[in-house]
Structure 1
Amino acid sequence: MKLIKISILTFFILFFTNIHAQLKIDAEVRPRFEYRHGFKTLFPDDADPAAFVSQRTRLNAGYTMEKLNFYVSMQDVRVWGDVPQLNTTDKNGFSVHQAWGEILFNPDISLKLGRQEIMYDDHRIFGNVGWAQQARSHDAALIKYTKESFKFDLGFAFNQNEEALTGTTLTTPNTYKSIQYVWLHKDWKNFSGSFLFLNNGLQFTDTTNPDNDETRYSQTTGAHLKYKKEKFDLISNLFYQFGSDVNNNDLSAYLLSLETNYKISEQWKATLGGELQSGNDNGAPANGNNDAFTPFYGTNHKFNGLMDYFYVGNHVGNLGLIDLYIKTNIKFNPKSSLNIAAHNFMAAADMPRDNSKQLGTEIDLVYSYNLQKDINIKAGYSHLFASDGMEILKNNSDGNTNNWGWIMVTIKPTLFTTNP
């Protein structure tokens, strides 16, 4: 049996490593310890903080030849201890994160099919949510055109929960029914710009009359702009949403952001910025109108504070957000660095009973150290100073400390490659 396995592996390697092909197999093990005492929502009285270790394990294989790119990423996501020892079955943490093939028609045009990460620009609308152990991927078809400094992507996805003989009503929770989008990008000497149009369809299900089931579409359009010259850069996101939300409210919402970065020295960079996402007065759609912006498939953990109080499984359709922030990155040496960020949060729309829009302030610290080529260690601490507005928003006036700490080790070795 051992000889058969070795023979199969040898055949696999020889088959996929002809003179025109490249094969790379790599892996990732990423355990992360977290201490949560007010993470994502205000900490209540008479509760104990949470502490656990989660882990992501991946095995990735990429194959490239003249007219084809092929990639598979298998992953297991678990919490240490979520199954008993000597257990005969495991929790459902094993999945296919990516499995796609890209057909190269010519040097400029390709078709990418299958489960894949979709990421654009700074990940504001489309991102892979790499911080989350499970991350995000899409079952999609993507037509790609690249010519020198110009890129054009056209994407499609249509989701069903199973094979069926009749009907197309989607019952899978927390996903979209259908999307179509176009993304264009152009680079100039000191400036780059991207345009995105997303047609996003969500499944509406009428529990009393299935004949009323339908897909309701919203549209998101806008631009990501970046100017860079020497030690200075300026970045902006400008997006507008219209159409209908899943509850058939008329949607009219926007996101505006502006960020400036200045490289003070080779070891020190400073950032100053702000973001406005529109919201609904009193925290909910009214009179058939929804004015709250939704950053649908972005890496939202990256933007409005690392404690995930906004737009990470929460705050959708709510009061919106004004986030004013200052950040700095300090490189101590080639192996280690420290990121410091301070956010001031305010509601973008009117609070209930005309209360103050001030929500609070958050401080984030993240230290990173590269132990060696394939091993990175990160540690972070965040503290939220909640204001009265946050207590109203989260329906908690207990006045407890809200903080969060974590440490994460990422091990990413290359196991095999034909192109070292």
Structure 2
Amino acid sequence: MKKIKIILLIVLGINASIEAQELDVNLQIRPRFEYRNGYKTLLPEGQEGTSQISQRSRLNFNYKQDELTVKLTFQNTRTWGDVAPNTVADKNGVAVFEAWAQYNFTEKWSAKIGRQVLSYDNQRILGEQDWGQQAQSHDALTVSFRQEKQQLDFGGAYNSTAENVLQTPYTVANYKALQYAWYHTQFSDLGLSFLVLNTGYEYANADAKLLVDYKQTFGPYLAYKTSKIDSNFWAYGQTGKSTNLQVSAWNAGANFGYQITASFKAGLGYEFLSGKNTNDGSSVIKSFNPIFGTNHGFNGYMDYFYVGNHLNNVGLQDAFIKLNYNANKWQFALIPHAFLAAADVVTPLNEKLDSYLGTEIDATFAYNFKKDITVSGGYSQMFGSHTLEFIKNGDAGHTNNWAWLMISVNPKIFSWKK
């Protein structure tokens, strides 16, 4: 073992004499306790909530050599107790979250290939989904152009279940092919972006022939930020086809925040995601799908909407207020939401229900305990309506709440530069 270390140091020393190199290695240990009592959906009558602890463990390698940058991230996600203490194999094993190489051809042009995070603007359409212990990354190729106030990214992906020799159905719950382009430019305090995303999903028709239909998501994102004002606006349309069905949907939202004092910030916002009337018999998909967005950051932290649910439904209107207070190492936030359906909710008896779905109150805190240690937590409660009961089932009269506490430890364990 000692000889191996000596050889490694010699090799690093020889390479370092030829080209400049950097290597950083860091860890993340992130356990999170959750009490779920009506989380994601109203608690069914006669049922009780539950609690558990999940954990993400990551090991990150970041390497740079002149124009070449490489990143490799190993990750394990688990629920405490999902395997016995004397188990010989982990339930989820170790996965590769990121594994990419980037080469800078010039000061402006670069390309990145491999497993990578696609994250843009406020992450409404493409995001990392970092709240989820597993997060989200893609196998893709991205080409970037960057200059002082402009950036253009375009990329694509093509997926298969394995190294097949014959046409084989793609059975993974994912797109078969993806292409996108994103442009951003900065005008002083105003930033303007435009995203075009083309996603193709495979399906078998009536003759068992494998086909791919493409859906397009596109639109602008604007962000205006000064020392006092922090605001943004976005509008996205969706068209194309999905499993031979026509798509016609849209999404728009706006936030306005104002820094009242050095410690206190207040804001308000509104978002509209189109939906489909429950008595609409047409085959057109009218419900907007945020696709790969960081949806936990929108429409309430209890994840009633668009976090693996509420797709092809009545859509959503979300009006909210954000109150943030920072003091020394502490951060506090209070965010009440008022939810309404974006389309008509009609029962099988042709009774039109009120569009009001409910009110959610989210309260969170974070404390920077040490340089590499952060403690955060929160409490949320949903006050659901009869209409929400109709859509989600469950019991709105029950106390539907959720609480969590998380510790994030992120130490840098090795850094080398030559």
TM-score band, normalised by shorter chain: over 0.9
Whether the aligned pair in 2 keeps the contact of 1:383 and 1:403 (CA below 8 Å) is yes
User: Could you say what secondary structure the match of 1:192 adopts?
Assistant: strand
CA–CA distance in 1 between the matches of 2:86 and 2:34? 26
In structure 1, C-alpha distance between the alignment counterparts of 2:291 and 2:189, rounded to whole Å: 29
Among candidates 336, 352, 360, match of residue 342 of structure 1: 336
Alignment of 1:40-119 (within 5 A): 40-119=40-119
* RMSD, aligned α-carbons: 1.7
- Number of residues paired by the alignment? 413
The alpha carbon displacement at 1:24 in A equals 0.6
In 1, the alpha carbon distance for the partners of 2:4 and 2:52 equals: 37
Q: Distance in 2 between matches of 1:12 and 1:170?
A: 43
1:278-308 CA distances to partner (integer Å, 9 max, x unpaired)?
001018x732211110001010000110000
The secondary structure found in structure 1 opposite 2:278 is helix
Q: Distance in 1 between matches of 2:318 and 2:69?
A: 41
Asked if 2 retains the 8 angstrom alpha-carbon contact of 1:145 and 1:151, the reply is yes
Deviation at 1:253, TM superposition (A): 0.6
SS in structure 2 of the partner of residue 297 of structure 1 = coil
Shift of 1:15: 6.4
Aligned twin of 2:229: 232
Tell me the CA shift for residue 209 of structure 1.
Answer: 3.3
Report Cα offsets for 1:327-386 as digits up to 9, x if no partner.
Answer: 1110021x1110110000000000023101100000011110001110000011000000
Matches within 5 A, 1:200-211: 200-206=199-205, 209-211=207-209
Q: Is 2:290 the partner of 1:295?
A: yes
In structure 2, distance between residues paired with 1:12 and 1:239: 52
Aligned CA distance change for structure 1 residues 87 and 280 (closer, same or farther; 3 Å): same
CA distance in 1, matches of 2:29, 2:10: 27
Distance, in Å, in 1 between the alignment partners of 2:15 and 2:135 is 28
Task: Please give the alpha-carbon distance, in whole angstroms, between the structure 2 residues aligned to 1:65 and 1:394.
Answer: 53
Give the distance between the partners of 2:330 and 2:10, measured in 1 at CA.
42
User: Structure 2: any 5+ residue segments left out of the alignment?
Assistant: none
Per-residue CA deviation, residues 194-252 of structure 1 (Å, 9 max, x unaligned), is: 0000111111134x6322x2111111110110122331132101100001123x22111
Which residue in the other structure is 2:165 paired with? Answer: 165
Partners of 2:188 and 2:390 in 1: CA distance:
48
What is aligned with 1:328?
A: 323
Contact residue 16 and residue 63 of structure 1 kept, 8 A = no
* Secondary structure of 1:45's aligned partner: coil
Normalised to the residue count of structure 1, the TM-score between the two structures is 0.95
User: How far apart are residue 123 of structure 1 and its match?
Assistant: 0.4
Deviations 1:119-144 (A, max 9, x none): 00010100000000000000000001
Aligned residue number for residue 221 of structure 1: 218
Are 2:35 and 2:402, in contact at CA under 8 Å, matched by a contact in 1?
yes
Report which stretch shifted further, 114-123 or 287-296: 287-296
| Higher mean displacement: 248-257 or 342-351 | 248-257
User: Structure 1 residues 10, 419: CA separation in 2 closer, same or farther (over 3 Å shift)?
Assistant: closer
Q: Using a 3 Å threshold, how does the CA distance of structure 1 residues 299 and 387 change in structure 2: closer, same or farther?
A: same
1:214/1:3 CA distance change after superposition, 3 Å? same
Aligned residue identity for 2:369: L
Q: Distance in 1 between matches of 2:263 and 2:14?
A: 47
TM-aligned CA deviation for residue 65 of structure 1: 1.7
| Mapped partners of 2:354, 2:231: distance in 1 | 31
Structure 1 gaps of 5+ residues are none
The answer to which of 225-234 and 101-110 deviates more is 225-234
Q: For 1:210-289, list aligned pairs within 5 A.
A: 210-211=208-209, 213-246=210-243, 248-282=244-278, 286-289=281-284
What is the TM-score of this pair, normalised by structure 2?
0.95
Task: Tell me the equivalent position of 2:393.
Answer: 395
Change (3 A) 1:233 1:22: same
The 8 Å contact of residues 17 and 23 in structure 1, kept in 2 or not, is answered as: no
Change (3 A) 1:46 1:15: farther
- C-alpha deviation, 1:13, in angstroms: 5.1
